[in-house]
Amino acid sequence: MKELGWEYIPVDYSAQFPDQGEEMDWLDPKFGEKYGYGIVKGYELYELPGLLAGGDPNSGPDGTFVDPNQEYVTGLSSDDQTRYYEDLYGNQEGNSTIDEQTGETIYLPPPPEEAGCQGRAQAEIYGDQPFNDQDFSQRYGQLSEDMQNDPRLQDAYVEWSDCMYELDQNLDFLDPTEVQNYFNKQFAEAKGQKVLPLDPDTGEPIGDYNQDEGWGSTQNADGTGWAFIGTGEVIDDATLEELRKAEIDLWKSDNKCQQDVGLKDLQRRLEKELADTLTQEFPGLVGQS
């Protein structure tokens, strides 16, 4: 950045957040038994400190994300700010291609050499990674979509859904992703966020909301989902404990049904098939990872 004429101080993003510790292996079943999907735990680690400090709930542990470059960037003209971020991150529009099977548009991120100083620095530190290759990224996207549409997986989802419904008729979901989205919706409501349905065609919230408040979302496989407007408020201790128990109970039901119908084992086999295909088609790239 300095070579391009800008002032720039490197930012240590990891220092903005608390150490997760060894127990924060989100894929370990022991983690699920203790924290469920990690939604309440994530809130306590990353959102609550900021809310209690009156700052940004998505900021560091003291509620204030410290970017040492912010004052400098704020002092630039609008045009210079645009050029600054283009030099730092590159043109993030990337490229797109049409999937021949589905007709859908697939976004391909720009290669590191076109991703500004940050992209070039990452390439220098981590080397040439498979996902830096656009052919690899496109093929990975196609294979991932094929895996999700695999009849074996779809049949397993049906069995899993039946299992969940038998445990509790309120647990009427099509696949495990919907379970987490369901709980995220409950959690957003507990925080006092405005919850709006997503338009499956545009991915935008349906209804009145203030764009300046910002919003996040969860999306199901069919494109439906929920948008969560604003940051919300601190959840009181009693409600948080109720949500913690509900999340763990939900995870246990989900995990039991996934185990009973063999969904986890099937997903591992399908993922291995995907990895084997990529290894065969891109031996040089995969060998570098």
d(CA 192, CA 171): 23
Task: Give the pLDDT mean for 241-253.
Answer: 97
d(CA 39, CA 286): 33
215-219 and 95-98 beta bridge pairing: unpaired
Q: What percentage of the chain carries pLDDT values higher than 70?
A: 81
- pLDDT of residue 182 exceeding 90, the answer is yes
Angle subtended by helix axes 263-281 and 237-260, to nearest 10: 70
d(CA 270, CA 15): 37
Residue 97 pLDDT class (50, 70, 90 cuts): low
Mean model confidence pLDDT for the chain: 84
Tokens of 238: 């009693």
d(CA 207, CA 166): 35
Residue 289 pLDDT class (50, 70, 90 cuts): very low
pTM as predicted: 0.72
Residue 47 confidence (pLDDT): 87
d(CA 69, CA 71): 6
Residue 39 contacts residue 180 (beta carbons within 8 Å): yes
- Across 22-26, 201-205, 237-241, least confident range: 22-26
d(CA 258, CA 249): 14
